[in-house]
Amino acid sequence: MEEKIELEIQGMSCASCELHVKKALSKLDGINNVHVSKWEEGKAEVITSKIINDETIKTSIENIGYKLKKIKRVKIFSDEINKVRNADFDIAVIGTGGAGVAAAIKTAELGKNVVIIEKGTIGGTCVNIGCVPSKTLIKVAGFKHKLQYNPIQGLTADIKEFNWQKVISQKNALINELRKDKYINVLNSYKERIKLIQGKAEIIGKNSIKIDNKHIIKVEKIIIATGAKPKNLSILEKKGVDVLTSTTAMQLKSLPKSLIILGGRAIALELGQMFHRLGVKVTILQRSSTIIPVHEPELSHEITEILKKEGLRIFTSVKIVDAYQQKEEKSIIAKINGKKREFKAEEIMVALGRTPNTKELGLKNIGLKTDKDGFIVVNNHLQTNIDNIYAAGDVTTLPKFVYVAAASGGIAAENAVKGNIKKIDLSTLPSVIFTDPQIATVGLTEKQAIDQGYKVKTSLLPMKYVPHALTSFDTRGFVKLIADKETDYLIGAHIITVNAGEIIQTASLIISFGKKYGVTLTDITTEFFPYLVQVEAIKLAILALDKDVEKLSCCAN
């Protein structure tokens, strides 16, 4: 025989309070299971096989700053124990990032009961350690840079103080606010359908999940949305060199004097430029022969020259052969075109991609298929090789964008509930690198289009032909378009300019409308584009497919 002890607790004010109470109660001798309800309800229950007196429970609660208002004891027998321990849900979602929350919300909207399990901080990568903090700090660095190096004659600014600690504090406050408003409060608004459990999930069968190695819940379907984390370089680990990741770099208490960044793609370039603009001497070491190697070569060349002009040091075709650290200085030994070079800096940041958060999920035990890097393989329905288990977001082989995560989470949930009725289509997926100027792309590159058999025509419009760029005194960059000669459809757009991320959606829609509705580039040229806005560059680049841009007037048609 076991005993269920029902508790009413006063003082819980947020979701993390649930975790604190659960941890405190779990430490008591003889506890078999602990369940803490939503913090607003202030309720908890424990299952115990030993006698635990009221005073012991009261003390454990008060020691962590809460008050025990009421305690009720109920004797339970074996059949009742199963009901308490094995909470039944239609769907279990593992992870509370963009994919997980989207999946949970969609499941609730479809009238199903869902449990969402999180072992860490609610909100996942984007709001806590990814998009929100990085773009906030990039904005700060951009403001500082523009004040010091604006292109307007007669306009000068003198920055007398820059306080990194205050910037970090403001960034953290924003993260806390968004986590609460967009994740915790949103989940709470569906509390009739969504149950949040904070603990470690292990999948022990296609319908069973073990929580914190203690109790098991039974579910019909599972959606894995545990995300990914920065990966390290093995040679640095072997040599015991302490390194930063994108996560820890944005949490530094003070700025280093110098920084080596390993990698040459989005995160490396974004944070590299950001740190440089804040006064850090930055060196970027990239393994491939160019930075952003999967992009159009013109984009790679342009951003390389822009960053070098700002003062960043960029080296490509780098092979790292050794590393070490001595007190406050760290070194990378590398070969570049066969010649050995040594690079020294106060800090090293690794930006070499991501590794999936799957280590403790028990995927091998259930035979769930992953790729060579450990990312979960899904079909276009977001279904794994196990028919009732789906996966979404960064933990899968999908592109690592929060908007892909959110979309895939919703699609995975809908397919899990209704059957495989929806597919994810990435053919018009836009991507943005938040350097200054920004880099934005959608659709095929010129090489991809040719390799796929298209007869292509292209245009490359320098921003010096765009009136908005001229009046802003910033003509860096260009727009490159790839069109299908036979259909007159747009099939690719590649942009580097200020606010390229705001422009790319127009190109994405043009590609999509061509595929779905037969909208041609000739049709687009008959549409009105406002004069003296940056998106006019799209229309000018379309006209440049067949006309000489030198002969186009303002407001050209």
Residue 554 among the catalytic residues:
yes
| Catalytic residue from among 1, 66, 183, 517 | 66
Residue 12 among the catalytic residues:
yes
Cβ atoms 225, 94 nearer than 8 A? yes
* H or E segment to which residue 331 belongs: strand 329-336
Joined together, the tokens standing for residue 246 give 């994108």
| Catalytic residue from among 126, 250, 274, 349 | 126
Alpha-carbon span 481 to 39, nearest angstrom? 53
DSSP lists the bridge partners of residue 36 as 44
| Catalytic residue from among 324, 390, 517, 555 | 555
Residue 190 among the catalytic residues:
no
Phi, psi of 502 (to 5 degrees): -80, -25
Instruction: Dump the DSSP string for 519-539.
Output: --HHHHHTS---TTSTTHHHH
Q: Which residues contact 364 (CB under 8 A, 6 or more apart)?
A: none
| Catalytic residue from among 12, 250, 274, 349 | 12
Helices (H), 402-551: 402-418, 446-451, 467-471, 500-517, 521-525, 536-543
DSSP lists the bridge partners of residue 70 as 8
Residue 555 among the catalytic residues:
yes
Joined together, the tokens standing for residue 114 give 């869902």
**DSSP summary character for residue 388:** T
Joined together, the tokens standing for residue 292 give 């952003």
Alpha-carbon span 241 to 239, nearest angstrom? 6
Cβ atoms 269, 437 nearer than 8 A? no
Residue 66 among the catalytic residues:
yes
Residue 14 among the catalytic residues:
yes
Q: Which residues contact 277 (CB under 8 A, 6 or more apart)?
A: 141, 142, 144, 145, 310
| Catalytic residue from among 17, 250, 349, 463 | 17
Alpha-carbon span 193 to 89, nearest angstrom? 10
> Checking phi first, is residue 142 left (phi over 0); if not, alpha (psi -120 to 50) or beta?
alpha
Instruction: Dump the DSSP string for 112-177.
Output: --EEEEESS-TTHHHHHHSHHHHHHHHHHHHHHHHHHH---TT---------HHHHHHHHHHHHHH
Alpha-carbon span 49 to 69, nearest angstrom? 23
Alpha-carbon span 88 to 208, nearest angstrom? 10
Rounded to an integer, what is the distance from CA 539 to the centroid of its chain?
32
Side chain identity, residue 54: D
Which residues belong to the active site? 12, 14, 17, 66, 126, 131, 554-555
